[in-house]
Structure 1
Amino acid sequence: MDGDLGDFLRSRRARIRPEEVGLPSYGRRRVPGLRREEVAQLAGVSVDYYIRLEQGRGTGGTSRTKSGGVSDAVLDAVARVLRLDETEHAYLRAVARPQPGRAVRRPSVPRVRPGVQLLLDAMERSPAFVLGRRMEVLAWNALADALLGFGALDPAARSMPRMVFLDPAAADLYPEWAAIAAQTVANLRISAGLHPDDPALTALVGELSVKSADFRRLWADHEVKACAYGVKRVRHPVAGLLTLPYETLAVPEDPDQTLVAYTPEPGSETAARLALLGSWRATTAG
């Protein structure tokens, strides 16, 4: 995914007005936000150094680590000037210092440990599933299947990005589809930064870019945001409108897998509707 570093830095400086960082705003600007020269000045590096950093051409001089990458001090200074949050700061480090050699050979189809599946099955009141690094759905419990229909999908379609952007029913399933779509892309961007040499991830981004104008637009925004917790609303054809808080947990011993659990408030209308949905699934499955 060549160009991610430069595109990301340009998108971040475009959102900052000069007066926000104590610079006078005068004269006509060809592009919004800070100029590269201004970022370099505020970060305490030479203009040439910052330009080469943004262009991905490498940087020489004393601001490099012994391994040849851009130093933490420079990246921290740029992050401060561009007002990056914690997730954006981590993404900057990942794309500025890619480590292709750290990839471990894994099965073409990732496997979820039996113990993790047992954990999912034990969560009878909570729809829960496991995502891989490309946000592909690797495992789920009965209630998640009743809610989102993973089992009826072709294995290649068991992918949250594909479900959100390529399934025509997604707009009906998610009343706040636009927010879900933006969140999905922002989360996928983090994985792309951490795994720049993953051919399957690159292919997924390429496929979605070709097939979905909405995905292309959102990908070009270079937003990065982890979906650690929050609330989603789902409109199910049987259970109706559900308000679903969710939590995400890292799967032990596998940093590429994340367990997602919807956690409705006990005694809430959503909890009652999920219980009915579970009973309905048990009846129809039998």
Structure 2
Amino acid sequence: MATNEELGEFLRSRRARLQPEDAGLPTYGGRRRVPGLRREELAQLAGVSAGYYTRLEQGQSPNASDAVLDAVARVLRLDDAERAHLYSLARPKPKARRRAAKPEQVRPGVRLMIESFGDVPALVMGCFLDVLAWNPMAHALLAGHLDLDAPNRPADRPNIARMLFLDAHTRELYPEWTRKARSTVADLRLIAGRHRGVPALSELIGELTLGSPEFARLWAAHAVGDCDTAARTYCHPVVGTMALMAEFMVLPDDEGQRVAVFNAEPGSPSEAALRMLADLTATATTATPLTRPLDTKTHRL
């Protein structure tokens, strides 16, 4: 039986986070050969045999019960996202018949919805973080240096993770880039657990690993989590600094697709900056993309 290396790596990374005293186990001094809990210690706390847990960590127990997985998750203190990731890895879906991959599509109604947001930036992300559609404001906010129509061409679609790690313009957009990078990798790791073996996803992860040492380091840490919705600071090249809240909505009829909407606190300087960006976007043309700082003599917040 083929082993599940990713499951083993994930469980080992979580065992390494916990010390015996954290789990209420006695310590007897001396140097430990491995960081964190040993396999037999985790097995003891989870109420299973050391041999059974070893097989689970090696991906050789595909029929592990809910009770066992829940016990392991409890001992490892997994949060909701990590627990879901554990289930995805421990119970891989049967491989479907290989069919030619078709580009993801946005339903017409969803496209109309994000266009109706008007001066509020909104976009649709595909299951692997490709931008499938965005309104002019989301384009101006996140990637004014790219072609507005790029999401309509599957071969040219921007990808949130690729832009973040491999595009200098996008890096400059986030003053708290490290925080954004960690969140994006944790989200991508959760996605990878649900869609293992998909060539397009494997190619994306390989490209990022080779092209960005920072991505490779974060990926190896096996952090898992959904996109966070906390306020994030954007240093826009045209209208300056804004604090915006991004809300993510899962589209129930489109597996893995999400809508992201960006808003500012009413009455705040960030709202004024966003409104200015909307005014400029309305008058911008393809010959004058919004990638240059404002002339502060004629535009002020």
* Same fold, judged at TM 0.5 (above): yes
The superposition leaves residues 187-232 of structure 1 with CA deviations (integer Å, 9 ceiling, x where unpaired) of 0001100011211011111111111100110000000010152222
1:3 to 2, 5, 18: 5
1:14 to 7, 13, 16: 16
Shift of 1:54: 1.0
CA contact (8 A) 1:170 1:177 kept: no
Correspondence for 1:62 = none
Shift of 1:157: 5.6
The runs of at least 4 aligned residues of structure 1 exceeding 2 Å deviation read: 100-108, 153-157
Shift of 1:7: 0.4
Correspondence for 1:240 = 240
Matches of 2:107 and 2:283 in 1, distance apart?
Answer: 28
Matches of 1:246 and 1:148 in 2, distance apart?
Answer: 12
Shift of 1:104: 9.7
Q: Which runs of 5+ in 2 are unaligned?
A: 287-301
CA contact (8 A) 2:183 2:228 kept: no
CA contact (8 A) 2:132 2:157 kept: no
1:144 to 132, 138, 141: 138
Worse-matched range after superposition: 95-104 or 205-214? 95-104
Correspondence for 2:257 = 257
- Correspondence list, 1:131-170, <5 A: 131-149=125-143, 151-152=146-147, 155-156=155-156, 158-170=158-170
Percent identity of the aligned residues?
A: 50
- The aligned amino acid for 1:196 is R
Matches of 1:245 and 1:169 in 2, distance apart?
Answer: 21
Correspondence for 2:31 = 28
- Correspondence list, 1:180-199, <5 A: 180-199=180-199
The superposition leaves residues 69-103 of structure 1 with CA deviations (integer Å, 9 ceiling, x where unpaired) of 21111100100110101110010000010103469
Correspondence for 1:210 = 210
Correspondence for 1:63 = none
- The aligned amino acid for 2:9 is D
The superposition leaves residues 21-45 of structure 1 with CA deviations (integer Å, 9 ceiling, x where unpaired) of 1101223112211000100111111
Correspondence for 1:80 = 74
CA contact (8 A) 1:229 1:245 kept: yes
**In structure 2, the residue corresponding to 1:188 is in which secondary structure?**
helix
Seen in structure 2, the aligned counterparts of structure 1 residues 104 and 115 have a Cα distance that, compared at 3 Å, is farther
Seen in structure 2, the aligned counterparts of structure 1 residues 253 and 5 have a Cα distance that, compared at 3 Å, is same
Matches of 1:205 and 1:156 in 2, distance apart?
Answer: 17
Q: Which runs of 5+ in 1 are unaligned?
A: 60-67
Seen in structure 2, the aligned counterparts of structure 1 residues 103 and 284 have a Cα distance that, compared at 3 Å, is farther
- Correspondence list, 1:169-180, <5 A: 169-180=169-180
Shift of 1:20: 1.1
CA contact (8 A) 1:173 1:236 kept: yes
CA contact (8 A) 1:100 1:196 kept: no
**In structure 2, the residue corresponding to 1:270 is in which secondary structure?**
helix
Corresponding residue pairs, total: 277
CA contact (8 A) 1:6 1:55 kept: yes
Correspondence for 2:44 = 41
CA contact (8 A) 1:125 1:275 kept: yes
CA contact (8 A) 1:229 1:248 kept: yes
- The aligned amino acid for 1:99 is K
Correspondence for 1:113 = 107
- The aligned amino acid for 2:218 is L
CA contact (8 A) 1:100 1:197 kept: no
Seen in structure 2, the aligned counterparts of structure 1 residues 239 and 105 have a Cα distance that, compared at 3 Å, is farther
CA-atom RMSD in angstroms:
2.0
Normalising by structure 2, we get a TM-score of: 0.87
CA contact (8 A) 1:126 1:264 kept: no
Seen in structure 2, the aligned counterparts of structure 1 residues 46 and 252 have a Cα distance that, compared at 3 Å, is closer
Matches of 1:157 and 1:210 in 2, distance apart?
Answer: 20
